[in-house]
Amino acid sequence: MIDSDVHNELPKLKTLLPYLGEQWQVYLNESAFRGTGADDYPANSPVAAREGSRPESGPPGSDIDLLRTYVFDKMGADLAILNCGFRPGSVHNQDLAADLATAVNNWQTEQWLDKDERFRASIIVSNQNPLRSAAEIDRIGNHPGFVQVVVPVRGDAPYGNLRYDPLFEAATRHNLPILIAFGGAPGLPPTATGWPSTYVEEYVDAGAIFQSQVNSLIFEGAFDRFPTLRIVLSESGWTWMPSLMWRMDKEWKGLRRDTPWVKRRPSEYMREHIRLTTAPTDRPSPERANELTEMIDYLGSDQMLLFASDYPHWHGEEPTAWMSDLSDELKSRLTHTNAAEFYGLEVSTTA
């Protein structure tokens, strides 16, 4: 079993001090800089931590032993793909952002990848600067423990925008997918209509941003300029995907004159290039359980879903709860084969 979304978090900002040069060590110690300020999961909110995931000190996800006990022992995963939630994209100082990314990746190497061969990890980049991001990918992209590059779903431009080409070029040259992860704080409002009042709204509204990113990647031609580009969307809720397929296929029929590089139906690009992690799975109430089965059918592919626990986050139920009605064949695909194929992983399974 592969758990495709597990969060390894910094115990505190100053954990990075040994991984930073002198200028930033002074800065971290003497300035008012306290971190990226993305606040993707309010510390005491229900979603921030499943039961038993809060360490004695440090945020949920910062304790490697607690994490391993849950992911490997309790859930039975053979391999976990780490997705660190540190967000250099929220730091306006681009030199600082890029150097923080380097420091975090070196910390991930030493404190996670070197400590357990069952971990794989995501390369953190300062997504607001695609050139520096590419440099970081070139620096560390050959390390076998890193299996993808992670950017937050809230960036300062949709990810199909041509400005990201250097980032995609480096990632695809290293054969690394791009993980687009819930969260981020670029300074732009989180919706097309401004700033919502509550966290629960922002949480729900993130689904729409994932949809916008899919539209952008396809219609800006990212998959045509980079035919090997692979995208993973984590914590998106995923059940919005079929309606997006229907809508954008229809848009393409009427408007394709103006985006001629989009040579196939958008839904074909989605099935080929995009994967979706399953925590959370936004699903109907129990009396409508069959509608989830219908939604899975509408994807038109049994390869799109990647099982995830999203440890330590809590979305209201155990990460396997939504899967009880699935066929064994589909369960096997999404708990193992889909991720193994998409990431090119060889895993000896216990189940």
Partner 1 sequence: MSISAPAPPRVDPGLSAEASRANEESRITDNALIDCDIHNAIQSPETIRKYLSPRWRTHHETYGVRNFSGSYYPRAVPNAARHDSWPPSGLPPGGDLAFMQEQLLDAWGFEYGILNCLSGGGGERNLEFGAAFASAVNDWQIAEWIEPEPRLKASLVIPYEAGDLAAKEIERIGDHPGYVQVLLVARTSEPMGRRKYWPIYEAACRHDLPIGVHFGGAGGHPITGSGWPSHYVEDHGGMPQAFQPQITSLVMEGVFERFPELKIVLIEGGCAWLPSLMWRLDRSWELMRSEVPDVKRPPSEYIRKHIWTTTQPVEEPDRPEHFHQLLRQMDMNDRLMFATDYPHWDFDAPTSTFPNDLNKDLRRDIFAGNAKRLYNLA
Using CB under 8 A as the criterion, what x/- string covers residues 29-58 for binding partner 1?
Answer: ----------------xxx-----------
What residues between 92 and 131 interact with partner 1 by CB under 8 A?
Answer: none
**Contact between 195 and partner 1 per CB under 8 A:** yes
Cβ proximity to partner 1: between 141 and 302 the closer is 302
CB 27 within 8 A of CB 75: no
**Contact between 15 and partner 1 per CB under 8 A:** no
Binding range to partner 1, per CB under 8 A, among 8-16, 313-321, 326-334, 337-345: 313-321
Could you check whether the bond before residue 166 is cis, i.e. omega within 30 degrees of 0? Answer: no
CA distances from 204 to 191, 210, 236, 326, 351 (A): 10, 11, 9, 26, 34
Cβ proximity to partner 1: between 26 and 321 the closer is 321
Residue from 227, 230, 188 nearest 209 by CA: 188
320 — phi, psi (to 5°)?
A: -95, -5
Task: Give the position of tokens 């809230």.
Answer: 154
What residues between 131 and 160 interact with partner 1 by CB under 8 A?
Answer: 153-160
**Contact between 284 and partner 1 per CB under 8 A:** yes
**Contact between 188 and partner 1 per CB under 8 A:** yes
Q: How far apart are CA 97 and CA 87, in angstroms?
A: 9
Q: How far is the CB of 220 from partner 1 (least distance, A)?
A: 6
**Contact between 254 and partner 1 per CB under 8 A:** yes
Q: How far is the CB of 188 from partner 1 (least distance, A)?
A: 6
CB 92 within 8 A of CB 84: no
**Exposure of 86 in the CB half-sphere (CA atoms within 13 A):** 32
**Contact between 239 and partner 1 per CB under 8 A:** yes
191 — phi, psi (to 5°)?
A: -140, 165
Candidate residues 43, 200, 289, 351; the one interacting with partner 1 per rule CB under 8 A: 200
**Contact between 261 and partner 1 per CB under 8 A:** no
**Contact between 191 and partner 1 per CB under 8 A:** yes
Candidate residues 185, 282, 301, 345; the one interacting with partner 1 per rule CB under 8 A: 282
What DSSP string describes 94-115? HHHHHHHHHHHHHHHIIIIITT
